[in-house]
Amino acid sequence: TVIENRRNGLPPITGRHVATYPEFEFRVPIYAGYYMNGFIDRVDLIEDGDALYCHIIDYKTNYIQDAQA
């Protein structure tokens, strides 16, 4: 399997596909009391020698959820 990151010019990742994880929500602390929240559509894990890479896939749907008061 070869994964190419064409947007930022990184070299391709060549390796063995290990796993695929479907859509999930995440929340990461970035500073005291502040968090980054979001959704990831799919994550593929690729093993290349001793390294393990996460290939994050975000499908664009142009969907905006209505805010609730």
The backbone torsions φ and ψ at residue 46, rounded to the nearest 5 degrees and listed phi first, read -125, 130
Over residues 37-63, the pLDDT tens digits come to: 988 888 888 898 888 888 888 777 666
Q: What is the identity of the amino acid at 60?
A: K
pLDDT reported for residue 36: 92
Terminal CA-CA length for the chain: 46
- As a whole number, the mean pLDDT across the chain is 77
pLDDT reported for residue 32: 92
By CB atoms closer than 10 A (0-12, 13-18, 19+), residue 60 is exposed
pLDDT reported for residue 11: 64
Q: Which of 11, 22, 68, 69 is nearest to 45 (CA)?
A: 22
